[in-house]
A and B are shown apart, each in its own frame.
Chain A
Amino acid sequence: MKIAVASGKGGTGKTTIATSLVLSLANVTPAPLFLDCDVEAPNAHLFLRPTFERRQEVGILIPRVDESKCTYCGKCAQVCQYHAIAVLGKKTLVFAQLCHGCGSCTLVCPERAISEVPDVMGVLEAGPARAGITFARGLLNIGEPMAVPVIRQLKKWIAPEPNQIVILDAPPGTSCPVVESVRGADFLLLVTEPTPFGLHDLRLAAQIARELKIPAGVVVNRDGIGDARVDAFCAAERLPILLRVPFDRALAEGIARGQTLVDIRPEYGARFRQIVAQIAHREVVR
Chain B
Amino acid sequence: MKQLVILSGKGGTGKTSVAAAFAHLADADSLRAVLADADVDAANLELVLSPRVIEEHDFVGGSVAVIDPDLCNNCDTCIQVCRFDAISLSHHVDPIACDGCAACVYQCPTNAIRMEPQIAGRWFRSETRYGPLFHAALRPAQENSGKLVTLVKQQARLRALDENYPLVIVDGPPGIGCPVISAVSGADLALIVTEPTVAGIHDLERALQTTAHFRVPSFVCINKADVYPDGAAQIEAHCREHAIEIVGQIPFDPMVTEAMVNGAPVTAYRADAPASRALRAVWERVRARLENGQ
A and B in contact, CB less than 8 Å: yes
Residues of A within 8 A of B (CB): 8-12, 15, 38, 40-41, 43, 46-47, 79, 81-82, 100-104, 107-108, 140, 142-147, 171-179, 183, 195-197, 200-201, 204-205, 207-208, 211-212, 225-227, 249, 252-253, 255-258
Can you list 7 A-B contacts with CB-CB less than 8 angstroms, sorted by A residue number? A9-B11, A12-B11, A40-B177, A40-B206, A107-B81, A196-B48, A208-B140
CB neighbours (8 Å) of B9 from chain A are 41
Asked if B42 is at the interface (CB within 8 A of a chain A CB), the reply is: yes
Contact A41 B47 (CB under 8 A): no
Nearest 4 pairs of A and B residues by beta carbon: A11-B12, A10-B11, A102-B101, A145-B178
Asked if B237 is at the interface (CB within 8 A of a chain A CB), the reply is: no
Asked if B155 is at the interface (CB within 8 A of a chain A CB), the reply is: no
Separation of A178 and B142 alpha carbons in the complex (Å): 10
Separation of A140 and B200 alpha carbons in the complex (Å): 17
Which residues B68-106 have CB closer than 8 A to chain A? 81, 83-84, 96-97, 99-103, 106
Contact A173 B42 (CB under 8 A): yes
- Specify which of B13, B81, B213 is in contact with A103 (CB 8 Å cutoff): B81
Asked if B197 is at the interface (CB within 8 A of a chain A CB), the reply is: yes
CB neighbours (8 Å) of B176 from chain A are 40-41, 140, 142
Asked if B202 is at the interface (CB within 8 A of a chain A CB), the reply is: yes
CB neighbours (8 Å) of A226 from chain B are 257, 260-261
- Specify which of B103, B177, B195 is in contact with A104 (CB 8 Å cutoff): B103
Chain B residue at smallest Cβ distance from A196: B47
Instruction: With both chains docked as a complex, state the minimum distance between the C-beta of B92 and any C-beta of chain A, in angstroms.
Output: 15
**A79 with B106, Cβ < 8 A, contacts A145-B178, A256-B227 known:** yes
CB neighbours (8 Å) of A82 from chain B are 101
Contact A173 B203 (CB under 8 A): no
Separation of A47 and B198 alpha carbons in the complex (Å): 9
CB neighbours (8 Å) of B224 from chain A are 252
- Digitize B2-43: 1 where CB-to-A-CB distance is under 8 Å, 0 elsewhere: 000000111111001000000000000000000000001110
Contact B261 A212 (CB under 8 A): no
CB neighbours (8 Å) of A144 from chain B are 177
From B140, B203, B263, residue with most partner A Cβ within 10 Å? B140
- Specify which of A11, A146, A255, A257 is in contact with B178 (CB 8 Å cutoff): A146
CB neighbours (8 Å) of B103 from chain A are 79, 102-104, 107
Separation of A100 and B42 alpha carbons in the complex (Å): 25
Contact A46 B261 (CB under 8 A): no
- Digitize B224-239: 1 where CB-to-A-CB distance is under 8 Å, 0 elsewhere: 1001101100000000
Contact B42 A9 (CB under 8 A): yes
Contact A43 B100 (CB under 8 A): no
Contact B42 A201 (CB under 8 A): yes
Contact B141 A104 (CB under 8 A): no
Separation of A146 and B40 alpha carbons in the complex (Å): 16
CB neighbours (8 Å) of B198 from chain A are 43, 46-47, 256-258
Contact A201 B44 (CB under 8 A): yes
Asked if B138 is at the interface (CB within 8 A of a chain A CB), the reply is: yes
- Specify which of B141, B209, B228, B257 is in contact with A225 (CB 8 Å cutoff): B257
Separation of A100 and B202 alpha carbons in the complex (Å): 28
CB neighbours (8 Å) of B106 from chain A are 79, 104, 107-108
Contact B145 A195 (CB under 8 A): no
CB neighbours (8 Å) of B203 from chain A are 41, 43
CB neighbours (8 Å) of B62 from chain A are 81
Chain B residue at smallest Cβ distance from A225: B257
CB neighbours (8 Å) of B143 from chain A are 175-176
Separation of A197 and B44 alpha carbons in the complex (Å): 6
- Specify which of A15, A47, A101, A197 is in contact with B16 (CB 8 Å cutoff): A197
From B141, B197, B263, residue with most partner A Cβ within 10 Å? B141
Chain A residue at smallest Cβ distance from B104: A104
- Digitize B195-219: 1 where CB-to-A-CB distance is under 8 Å, 0 elsewhere: 1111110110011011001100000
